[in-house]
Amino acid sequence: MKNVKAQYRRYTRSSWGNFFYFFFLILFGLFSVLPMIYTVCTSLKPLEEILIFPPRFFVTRPVIDNYTALPKLLSNLSVPLSRYIFNSLFVSVSTTVLHIFIASMAAFVIAKVKFKGSQTLFMLIQFALLYNAYTLAIPQYVIFSKLNIIDTYWVYILPYLPSTLGVFLVKQFIDSSIPDALLEAGRIDGAGIFRIYYQIALPIMKPAWLTLALFAFRDIWSMQPAGTIFSEELKMLPNIMSTISAGGIARSGSAMAATVILLIPPIIVYMVSQGSVMETMGSAGIKG
Amino acid sequence: MKVKSLKTRGSSEVRTGLIMLSPFLILFFVFTVLPILSSVVLSFTTYDMISAPKFNGISNYIKMFSSDDMFPNVLRNTLVLAIITGPIGYMLSFVLAWMINELNRTARTILSFLFYAPALSSNVYFIWQVLFSGDSYGYINSALLSLGVVSEPIQWFKDANYVMVIIVVVQLWMSMGISFLSNISGLQNVNPEMYEAGCIDGIRNRWAELWYITLPSMKPILLFGAVMQIQSSFSIGAVVTALAGFPSVNYSVDTLVTLIQDVGTSRYEMGYAAALSVFLFAMMAVSRVIIGKVVDAIGR
C-alpha cells in the first residue's frame, strides 16, 4: 500500500513534454498579466514619457509624482475621500458576506433537502443565468423605484444578493463533494438541518464559497450603477476616477495611479481566497 | 413508531429548509424572475419607454426574421463567435487549471493569479488598442513596417478580414474567469484516495487518470463551467464595442448583444430589444440542454 501511495501521481513526462509544459504556462501567464503591468508602468511614468511618440510600453525613468499628486487632486471633492472609501468597503464587504450566506444556504437546501419543486427551481436558476442582463435593466429599474430603494445603499446590495451564479456554483460543489452519508451522521447525532449546514457542510464547501467571495467582491468593488445612485455621499470609489480623468491627458498618469490603488483590494482578496483554496488540497476529500 | 419519528423529522427538516431557502427565493423572484417575465411580456409589445407598452402580437419576431437587415448578419457573427470561443475557451480554462494543479502551492497561486489577471484589471482592452492601433505608432504596425513586411500601416479594426480574428483572440485571452476558478477548486476537491485506487486498478498514465478519475468525479463543476461558458460566449458584446466600435466596419463583428443595446439605447425600441433577448435566450437554452448531455457522457 505504501508503495502504491508513493508511486501514484508520479506519471512522468518526457523532457520535451516538460519543456512545452512550462513554456506554455509561462508564456500564457505573461501574456495575461500585460494590462496590469502596463497600468503599473504608466502610473510610474513622468509626463514627458506619457506624451512620448512612439509610445513606450515600459517606463524608463520611474517617478512617484503621479501618486503624490493624488491627495491634492482629490482635496476639493464635494464629499471627503474617506466617505467614498467607507462606501466602497461597506457595500463590498457586506454584500459579499450576505451573498455567500444566502447563496450557500439556498444551494445546500436545494441539494440536500428533498422537497417538491427543488428540481424545477434549480433548472429555473440555471436558465435565469443565461438571460441577457441589459434587457432586464428597465424592468429592474421599475422594481427598484416601486420598492423605494433608488439612491440608497440597498440598491447596490439587494439586487446582487440573489445572483444565481452563486447558488449554481455551490450546489454543483456540494453534488461533487458532500455525500448524503455525511449528513446522515449529523442527523443521527440529532442535529437539525441548519446545524448540519453550518457545522458540517459550510467548512467542506470552503473552496466554493471562497471562490464566490472573490468573484462577488471583484464585481461589487468595481460597480458603477447607472441611474440608481444620485447622492454624492452614497457613491463608491470608481466614481472619483472621473474627477481625476477630467484633468485630461496631463492627468492620465494620476488616473493610472488611482487605477493601481483601486486594484489592490481585489488582489488582496484574490491572494487570501485562492491561497486558502489551494491549501485545502488533499484534506478536503471526504473519506469513504 | 420508528416510521413515524422519521416522518416527523422529515417534515420539520423541509420546514427549516424552506426557511433557509426563503431569503434567496424572495430576492430571486423580485429581482430576477419578475424582470425576466416582464421582458418576455414586453417582447410582444411596442414600447418606447415613454408611453405605455402596446400589445402587437408576434410582430417583433416577424420583424426579426423578415425586415431587419442587420439581424442575419449579427446572428451569423454571434454563432461563429460562440462556436469558436465557447469550446476553446472552455477547454483552455480546464486545461490550465489542470496543468497548474500538480505544482506546489506557491507556484499555483502565482500562476493562477497571472491567468486571472485580465478579469481583475479594469482596462483590459486598452492593451489591445495600443497593440493593434491603426496608425504607424501601433506596436504591431511599427514592427511590421520596420521589418518591411508591409509598406503602410494596416487598419486592423477597420478591416473586416482582421477584426473578427482579433476579437476571437481577445475573447479567448479573457476566458480565464469564473469557470477557471471553479475548475481549480473542483480539482482541489478530488479525493486523493481515488487516485490511489485508480493506480491499483491499473491506471498508468496521466491521460487515463484524467479521463477515468478526475473528470468523472468533478462532473457537476464541469457542468457549471460549461453553462458559464455558454453565457459568456453567446454574450460577447463589450469587447466588440470597445475594439471595433459601433457599428463595426460593415457590421462584420456585431453580435446580438450589441444589436440589442443599439435597439434599446439609441432606437428606444424596448419591445424589439426584448424579443431579440428572448431569441438569444432560446439559443443559449438549447445549447445548455446539449451540453448537459455531453457532460453526462464524460468518462464513459
Kindly report the nearest CA distance between residue A162 and chain B, in angstroms: 5
Instruction: Mean pLDDT check: name the lowest of A169-183, B54-68, B165-179, B191-205.
Output: B191-205
> Half-sphere exposure of residue A5, counting CA atoms within 13 Å on the CB side?
4
CB contact set of B169 (below 8 Å; sequence gap of 6+):
none
Across B55-79, average pLDDT: 92
Using CA atoms, how far residue B229 sits from B81, B87, B246, in Å, is 12, 8, 24
Strand, helix or coil at A178?
coil
Contact B100, A25 (CB under 8 A): yes
Q: Which residues of B124-143 are buried (b: 16+ CB within 10 A; e: fewer)?
A: bbebbeebbbeeeebbebbe
Do strands B54-55 and B45-46 pair parallel, antiparallel, or not at all (unpaired)?
Answer: antiparallel
Q: Is residue A21 part of a domain?
A: no
CATH (domain of A142): 1.10.3720.10
pLDDT digits (tens, 9 = 90+) for B175-189: 888 889 999 988 888
Which range of residues forms the domain containing residue A153? 72-279
Which range, A171-175, B190-194, B199-203, is most confident? A171-175
pLDDT digits (tens, 9 = 90+) for A25-77: 999 899 889 888 888 998 898 888 877 766 677 888 888 888 988 888 888 78
Residues 112-141 of B with CB under 8 A from A: 112-124, 126-127, 130, 136-137, 139
Q: What are B36's three cell numbers?
A: 425576466
CB contact set of A105 (below 8 Å; sequence gap of 6+):
A197, B20, B21, B23, B24
pLDDT of residue B8: 56
CB B96 to CB A28 under 8 A? Answer: yes
**Residues A172, A168: Cα–Cα separation, whole Å:** 6
User: Is A246 within 8 Å of chain B by CB?
Assistant: no
CB A263 to CB B227 under 8 A? Answer: no
pLDDT of residue B119: 87
Cα B106-B109-B114 angle, rounded to 5 deg: 125
Strand, helix or coil at A163?
coil
Q: Is residue A266 part of a domain?
A: yes
CB B17 to CB A115 under 8 A? Answer: yes
Q: What are B54's three cell numbers?
A: 402596446
pLDDT of residue B277: 95
Q: Tell me: cis bond preceding B247? Omega within 30 of 0 counts.
A: yes
Chain centroid offset of residue B275 CA: 21
Across B55-73, average pLDDT: 91
**Residues A162, A98: Cα–Cα separation, whole Å:** 10
pLDDT of residue A8: 52
Task: Look at chain A and report how many structural domains it folds into.
Answer: 1
Q: Is residue A14 part of a domain?
A: no
**Residues A159, B32: Cα–Cα separation, whole Å:** 8
Contact B115, A32 (CB under 8 A): yes
CB B281 to CB A125 under 8 A? Answer: no
pLDDT of residue A11: 62
Kindly report the nearest CA distance between residue A176 and chain B, in angstroms: 6
Q: Is residue A126 part of a domain?
A: yes
CB contact set of B215 (below 8 Å; sequence gap of 6+):
B222, B298, B299
- Chosen for mutation from B99, B120, B195, B221 (greatest number of chain A CBs closer than 10 Å) is B120
Residues 199-238 of A with CB under 8 A from B: 207-208, 210-211, 214-215, 218, 222
User: Is A106 within 8 Å of chain B by CB?
Assistant: yes
Q: Is residue A65 part of a domain?
A: no
Q: Is residue A8 part of a domain?
A: no
Nearest to A275 among B109, B114, B121 (CB): B109
Residues 167-186 of A with CB under 8 A from B: 167-169, 171-173, 175-177
pLDDT digits (tens, 9 = 90+) for B224-275: 999 999 999 999 988 888 888 878 887 888 999 999 998 988 888 999 999 9
Rounded to two decimals, the pTM is 0.89
User: Is B21 within 8 Å of chain A by CB?
Assistant: yes
**Residues A81, A240: Cα–Cα separation, whole Å:** 9
User: Is B155 within 8 Å of chain A by CB?
Assistant: no
Please state the φ and ψ torsions of residue B55, each to the nearest 5 degrees: -65, 130
**Residues B110, B125: Cα–Cα separation, whole Å:** 23
The chain A residue lying nearest B92, using CA atoms, is A28
User: Is A146 within 8 Å of chain B by CB?
Assistant: no
pLDDT digits (tens, 9 = 90+) for A101-134: 999 999 999 999 988 899 999 999 999 999 988 8
Nearest to B35 among A30, A143, A176 (CB): A143
Q: Is residue A59 part of a domain?
A: no
Q: Is residue A258 part of a domain?
A: yes
The chain A residue lying nearest B201, using CA atoms, is A4
The amino acid occupying position B116 is Y
User: Is A58 within 8 Å of chain B by CB?
Assistant: no
User: Is A128 within 8 Å of chain B by CB?
Assistant: yes
User: Is A130 within 8 Å of chain B by CB?
Assistant: yes
CB contact set of B33 (below 8 Å; sequence gap of 6+):
A124, A128
Instruction: Mean pLDDT check: name the lowest of A228-232, B119-123, B172-176, B294-298.
Output: B119-123
pLDDT of residue A80: 87
The amino acid occupying position B1 is M
CB A161 to CB B224 under 8 A? Answer: no
Contact A156, A95 (CB under 8 A): yes
Please state the φ and ψ torsions of residue B45, each to the nearest 5 degrees: -135, 170
pLDDT digits (tens, 9 = 90+) for B3-56: 444 445 678 888 999 999 999 999 999 999 999 999 999 999 998 888 888 999
ipTM value:
0.89
- Phi and psi based region of residue A60 (left: phi greater than 0; alpha: psi -120 to 50; beta: remaining): alpha
